[in-house]
Amino acid sequence: MTEPRMRRCLFLALLSLVLVAAGCASSAGSGPESGPVPSAQAEGDGAKADRQLLNGTRNGAWESSYEPLPSGPVLIRGGTVMTAAGEEIAGGDVLLVDGRIQAVGMDLDVPAGAHVIDASGRFVTPGIIDTHSHLGVYPSPSVEGMGEGNEATNPVTAEVWAEHGVWPQDAGFWRALAGGVTTIQVLPGSANLIGGRGVTLKLVPGRGVTDMMFPRAPMGLKMACGENPKRVYATRGPSTRMGNVAGYRAAFIRAEAYRETWDRWLEGDRQSDAPDRDLQLETLAEVLRGNILVQNHCYRADDMLTMLELAREFGFSIRSFHHATEAYKIRDYLAAEGVGASMWVDWWGFKMEAFDGIPENIALVSDAGATAILHTDSGLEIQILNQNAARAMYAGLAAGIDVSRDDALRWITANAAWALGIDDRTGTLEPGKAGDVVIWSGDPFSVYTRADQVFIDGATVFDRERSRGNPVSDFELGILPEAGRGGAR
Amino acid sequence: MNGAIGRLGYGVRLAASCWALAVLPAPAAAQDLAITGGTVHTVSGEVLEGATVLIRDGRIVEVARDVDLPAGISRVDATDRVVTPGLFDVTTSLGLVEVGAVSSTVDGQMQGDPVRAAFDVVDGLNPRSVLIPVSRAGGLTTALAAPSGGLIAGQAAVIDLAGTSVDEMVVRAGAAMIANFSAVAAGGARGAVSLRLREVLDDARFWRENRVEFDAGRSRDVSASRLDLEALGPVLIGEMPLIVSVHRASDIEAVLRIAADYGLDLVIAGGSEAWMVADRIADAGVPVIVKPLTNNPGGFDRLGARFDNAALLHAAGVDVIIGSFTSHNARYLTLEAGNAVRFGLPWEMALRAATLAPAKALGLAAEYGSLEAGKVGNVVVWTGDPFELSSRAETVVIRGRVTSLDNRQRGLLRRYRELDDERPAFKETGP
């Protein structure tokens, strides 16, 4: 095999679900794919060790220790089933077995021992996903000693990982869960050009962060455009957008060399000592290989186009712009480049780069065929993602933009899952997907509707009707006896 | 509009506060309008199906099913529509901020001394703020433009969201004094907040009673400037409401004690833990402005924050007011109200909390907040339940005039609605 061929083989093996043995021959595709990194079971020991070497999880350190809560078969019967896969089934059933969705349809048989839930008059959706959260790193309470989101000591801190700052006792997790949220990406903040790695969590309580980590979810890399980095580093630089871009470029030039050094060593006989590790470059090299997904805080249309040029120069992909208040101005570029946009419904005007935000942004991006995602960046709004999707949908409809209820649901489920590289496992109600499901008291696009029950991997994690059994953080335990029931209210 | 201008009885006012004495210019055009056929939520009275709201000279003259309409009067057909009073948000800085992070556009905060009672926002108001038409499109017709920061932030003005001059816009200057239960501003301890508030109120009373001696230089020292002490006069005699931002239950109790001791017309803002002391607040007859979408224990002063705060307060007999606590998105006061209903506040009370309750708290209930004869003609026609996410404000009437719901955001939408060969810069040039 020629060297380029070999590298491409490694790249594909790392990236796709396809086994190493079969990968090179059968995979014709190139560039980033939506599939996850190989599962531990599927890849060979050697490939697994190499993957760990490259992404900084050697010896299996830092990998997910998530275990689903125990569950038996559950049949959710007779609800309006919004699949986020095109269909809205009136009077439909959803069957969860072994933590997964086994069937979705009408009049499903009740398996032996199944717990049957009458969802008539209620609505059923996939678990909600937020691509942009700082829960755990900017937790409640937001007081001295608790701010972990921004390592604002250097414009490039690709070496830090959000998961090392996540506080599993953030009371906000369980309020988000009560709002129907099952999966979130926790990102570092936007003080830095390159803020560090993000982590995808399932909202199931654990004592350490690895207990919450979505198994085999790709990591994210937080990058930030525009005003925030240049404000934070005004006195030492970068102090301009020019300086911002020079900073990204300098970092990726070093990352290219690092990647080259490591890839050459891996491809060789490995008789020499392994190259020195550099935590910053280890992360950026994984971005260049397509194994870490770039999540790019960027508001203005021209800033986003500049970032697309940067990605072109170094041959990586931006998975999703975040905030993207002006995404509607360049929605055709986003569609053509396959770059998602994670947006608010209505935040605008708090700084210059947010001045042109409009409520129709999401609908316009969606209608243009780009991957539109509704995100929150907020411990409050994460609890009303369903309402925000409705507001974005109705704003679009009022402007004559062609968006559907399924589109709107996908903004907070399937499309968000795609942005996190987990869309093969969650984000829709389809057989084979994880049993991440919400039963709503009514139409999730009504302001009066509540999440009644939330399932993660088939297990009830939140049930509004039960007085005990919903997660409550240690922090809230006994600290205010009159108040302390977590997200149940 | 004549006569809606509140006039504070307190004697000498500073020049900057003279708006309160002014009378707004007479309307240039007739402000006669009939809004017909809608489901009319009067707030003060019953819900009337298929009713008409008749407005003449900017004032409501009749709300009923059968109304004789003057010949030739302008009409808004509200058949199959919901009609409510214009929404009133008392938690904004509308007209005082354009871009949050651009300091030259932020006029709601005076830096320096924690006591800035004399600071009056009126001369900083910008009637051409792009936030005003954006807010109006959400059914907001009236707002308190409030200062922020410090211990005593200054004086807020009530504005109607119409007009191109401050004179036209201002309903009442000096409508409320804004204060914060801020240990940081007071010197680092909660006790210092009470100490400082009581000290300045004592001095304001002293100054009132010893003004001649003060001017002659025969007075003891006072803790605030002459202008601040003078500005606190109307607060001391209960003519100007004091709105205090406070969250912890025990802090609320401290503020209630101060209000009782000085006879203040207190309004609590924020009140994350107000539900824990709801009975005391009810006994004191103090209204509470809540942001219903508040439930994270973001600090040790709000560990008890919960979504049903509004419902619990109402159940205890507290007059609840709903605020957006924002300026750029004050247009979504309805979202807050809808979520208050989601968590147990009766629907009618949520509407009242965004209309009549704020008007009443600011002493404007004779003029604002409900649809009844004699009140200012601020009316919104909604496509459906105003709190529901699928509804929008279809017609917004301020002082009897149908206002434009166009705004800069809609201009951007039009410019970028189609991406084609024509460059955006050559398209749509704005509302």
Query: Is A333 part of the contact surface with chain B (CB cutoff 8 Å)?
Result: no
To the nearest 5 percent, what fractions of chain A are helix, strand and coil? 35, 20, 45
**Using CA atoms, how far apart are residues A242 and B44, in angstroms rounded to an integer?**
59
State the pLDDT at residue A482.
Answer: 63
User: Is A94 in a helix, a strand, or coil?
Assistant: strand
**Using CA atoms, how far apart are residues A383 and A389, in angstroms rounded to an integer?**
12
Token pair of B136 as six digits: 């109006």
State the pLDDT at residue A323.
Answer: 98
pLDDT in tens, B394-407: 999 999 999 999 99
Could you identify the residue written with the tokens 């997790």? A173
User: Is B360 in a helix, a strand, or coil?
Assistant: helix
- Preceding omega of A238 cis (within 30 degrees of 0): yes
Of the candidates A149, A168, A172, the residue with the CA atom closest to the CA atom of residue A211: A168
Residue A439, pLDDT above cutoff 70: yes
Measured between CA atoms, how close is B131 to chain A, in angstroms?
9
Mean per-residue pLDDT of chain A? 91
Query: Is A234 part of the contact surface with chain B (CB cutoff 8 Å)?
Result: no
Token pair of B102 as six digits: 């651009």
Q: What is the DSSP letter of B373?
A: T
Per-residue pLDDT averaged across A291-307, rounded? 98
Residue B21 pLDDT grade (very low, low, confident, very high; cuts 50, 70, 90): very low
Residue A88, pLDDT above cutoff 60: yes
Which residue, A427, A453, A474, sits at the end of a domain? A427
State the pLDDT at residue B429.
Answer: 76
pLDDT in tens, A178-230: 999 999 999 999 999 999 999 999 999 999 999 999 999 999 999 999 999 99
Under a CB-based contact definition with an 8 Å cutoff, are residues A84 and A410 in contact? yes
Q: Answer yes or no: is A241 within a domain.
A: yes
Token pair of A278 as six digits: 């550099």
- Closest residue of chain A to B129, computed from CA coordinates: A349
pLDDT in tens, A408-417: 999 999 999 9
Query: Is B316 part of the contact surface with chain A (CB cutoff 8 Å)?
Result: no
**Angle ∠(A68,A72,A75) on CA atoms, nearest 5:** 115
In chain B, which among 367-396 make CB contacts under 8 A with chain A?
387-390, 392
**Using CA atoms, how far apart are residues A317 and A331, in angstroms rounded to an integer?**
16
The phi, psi pair for B53, rounded to 5°, reads -110, 115
Beta bridge partners, B38, equal B51
User: Is B146 in a helix, a strand, or coil?
Assistant: coil
In chain A, which among 150-179 make CB contacts under 8 A with chain B?
171-172, 175
CATH of B31-86+370-431, one of 3.40.50.300, 3.40.50.150, 1.10.40.50, 2.30.40.10: 2.30.40.10
**Using CA atoms, how far apart are residues B412 and A354, in angstroms rounded to an integer?**
13
State the pLDDT at residue A42.
Answer: 61
Per-residue pLDDT averaged across A428-453, rounded? 98
Residue A478 pLDDT grade (very low, low, confident, very high; cuts 50, 70, 90): confident
Region for A130 from its dihedrals, namely left if φ exceeds 0, alpha if ψ lies in -120 to 50, beta otherwise: beta
**Using CA atoms, how far apart are residues A231 and A161, in angstroms rounded to an integer?**
23
Residue A274, pLDDT above cutoff 80: yes
Measured between CA atoms, how close is A390 to chain B, in angstroms?
7
**Using CA atoms, how far apart are residues A462 and A464, in angstroms rounded to an integer?**
6
Q: What is the DSSP letter of B86?
A: P
Q: Determine what percent of chain B is predicted with pLDDT higher than 70.
A: 93
Query: Is A140 part of the contact surface with chain B (CB cutoff 8 Å)?
Result: yes
**Using CA atoms, how far apart are residues A221 and A284, in angstroms rounded to an integer?**
8
**Using CA atoms, how far apart are residues A413 and A127, in angstroms rounded to an integer?**
7
State the pLDDT at residue A45.
Answer: 87
User: Which among B135, B416, B420, B423 is the top mutation candidate for probing chain A, defined by the most A β-carbons within 10 Å of its own β-carbon?
Assistant: B416
State the pLDDT at residue B68.
Answer: 95
Contacting residues of B for A348, CB less than 8 Å apart: 328-329, 409
Residue B30, pLDDT above cutoff 50: yes
The phi, psi pair for A411, rounded to 5°, reads -60, -30
Token pair of A95 as six digits: 């069957």
- Tell me the domain boundaries of chain B: 31-86+370-431, 88-368
Query: Is A267 part of the contact surface with chain B (CB cutoff 8 Å)?
Result: no
> Is residue B172 classed exposed, middle or buried when 0-12, 13-18 and 19+ CB atoms within 10 A define those classes?
buried
B297/A476 Cβ within 8 A = yes
State the pLDDT at residue A481.
Answer: 66
User: Which among A350, A394, A397 is the top mutation candidate for probing chain B, defined by the most B β-carbons within 10 Å of its own β-carbon?
Assistant: A350
Amino acid making up residue B202: D
B338/A448 Cβ within 8 A = yes
Of the candidates A281, A293, A219, the residue with the CA atom closest to the CA atom of residue A63: A219
**Using CA atoms, how far apart are residues B29 and A261, in angstroms rounded to an integer?**
78
Token pair of A440 as six digits: 């709503």
Of the candidates A228, A239, A221, the residue with the CA atom closest to the CA atom of residue A158: A221
Contacting residues of A for B101, CB less than 8 Å apart: 227, 350-352
Q: Answer yes or no: is A267 within a domain.
A: yes
Instruction: Give me the DSSP letters along A385-452.
Output: HHHHHHHHHHHHHHTT----HHHHHHHTTHHHHHHTT-TTTSSS--TTSB--EEEESS-TTSTT--EE
Of the candidates B274, B272, B279, the residue with the CA atom closest to the CA atom of residue B316: B279
**Using CA atoms, how far apart are residues A49 and A57, in angstroms rounded to an integer?**
9
Q: Distance of alpha carbon A180 from its chain centroid, rounded?
A: 15
pLDDT in tens, B53-84: 999 999 999 999 999 999 999 999 999 999 99
> Residue A326's domain spans which residues?
128-427
**Using CA atoms, how far apart are residues B239 and B242, in angstroms rounded to an integer?**
9
Per-residue pLDDT averaged across A232-246, rounded? 98
Residue B165 pLDDT grade (very low, low, confident, very high; cuts 50, 70, 90): very high
**Using CA atoms, how far apart are residues B241 and B361, in angstroms rounded to an integer?**
8
Per-residue pLDDT averaged across B123-151, rounded? 98
- Closest residue of chain B to A391, computed from CA coordinates: B389
Query: Is A394 part of the contact surface with chain B (CB cutoff 8 Å)?
Result: yes
Mean per-residue pLDDT of chain B? 93
Beta bridge partners, B88, equal B142
pLDDT in tens, B339-388: 999 999 999 999 999 999 999 999 999 999 999 999 999 999 999 999 99
**Using CA atoms, how far apart are residues B5 and B2, in angstroms rounded to an integer?**
7
**Angle ∠(A191,A196,A197) on CA atoms, nearest 5:** 135
Q: Answer yes or no: is A297 within a domain.
A: yes
Domain B88-368: give its CATH code. Answer: 3.20.20.140
**Using CA atoms, how far apart are residues A102 and A99, in angstroms rounded to an integer?**
9
Under a CB-based contact definition with an 8 Å cutoff, are residues A145 and A268 in contact? no
**Using CA atoms, how far apart are residues A320 and A223, in angstroms rounded to an integer?**
11
State the pLDDT at residue A7.
Answer: 40
Q: Distance of alpha carbon B424 from its chain centroid, rounded?
A: 38
Residue A467 pLDDT grade (very low, low, confident, very high; cuts 50, 70, 90): confident
pLDDT in tens, B31-58: 999 999 999 999 999 999 999 999 999 9
Q: Which of B16 and B317 is assigned the larger pLDDT?
A: B317
Amino acid making up residue B228: D
Length of chain A: 489
pLDDT in tens, B1-12: 333 334 333 333
- What ipTM does this complex have? 0.93
Per-residue pLDDT averaged across B188-198, rounded? 96
Token pair of B169 as six digits: 């816009």
CB neighbour list of residue A14: distance below 8 Å, 6 or more residues apart: A37, A38, A47, A50, A51, A54, A289, A291
Q: Answer yes or no: is A346 within a domain.
A: yes
State the pLDDT at residue B29.
Answer: 55
Query: Is B409 part of the contact surface with chain A (CB cutoff 8 Å)?
Result: yes
State the pLDDT at residue A483.
Answer: 57
Query: Residue A371 maps to which CATH number?
Result: 3.20.20.140
**Using CA atoms, how far apart are residues A319 and A219, in angstroms rounded to an integer?**
11
Which residue, A380, A395, A427, sits at the end of a domain? A427
**Using CA atoms, how far apart are residues B273 and A470, in angstroms rounded to an integer?**
23
Residue A9, pLDDT above cutoff 70: no
Task: Compute how many other C-beta atoms are within 10 angstroms of the C-beta atom of residue B170.
Answer: 25
- Closest residue of chain B to A330, computed from CA coordinates: B419
Residue A109 pLDDT grade (very low, low, confident, very high; cuts 50, 70, 90): very high
State the pLDDT at residue B27.
Answer: 45
Per-residue pLDDT averaged across B86-111, rounded? 97
Residue B23 pLDDT grade (very low, low, confident, very high; cuts 50, 70, 90): very low
- Beta-strand relationship, A100-105 and A88-97: antiparallel
Could you identify the residue written with the tokens 């005990």? A468
Region for B382 from its dihedrals, namely left if φ exceeds 0, alpha if ψ lies in -120 to 50, beta otherwise: beta
Of the candidates A342, A397, A398, the residue with the CA atom closest to the CA atom of residue A370: A342
Residue A44 pLDDT grade (very low, low, confident, very high; cuts 50, 70, 90): confident
Q: Determine what percent of chain A is predicted with pLDDT higher than 70.
A: 90
Query: Is A446 part of the contact surface with chain B (CB cutoff 8 Å)?
Result: yes
Query: Is B219 part of the contact surface with chain A (CB cutoff 8 Å)?
Result: no
- Beta-strand relationship, A318-323 and A88-97: unpaired
Contacting residues of A for B338, CB less than 8 Å apart: 447-448
- In chain A, the number of structural domains is 2
In chain A, which among 362-391 make CB contacts under 8 A with chain B?
364, 368, 379-380, 383-384, 387, 390-391
In chain B, which among 11-70 make CB contacts under 8 A with chain A?
none
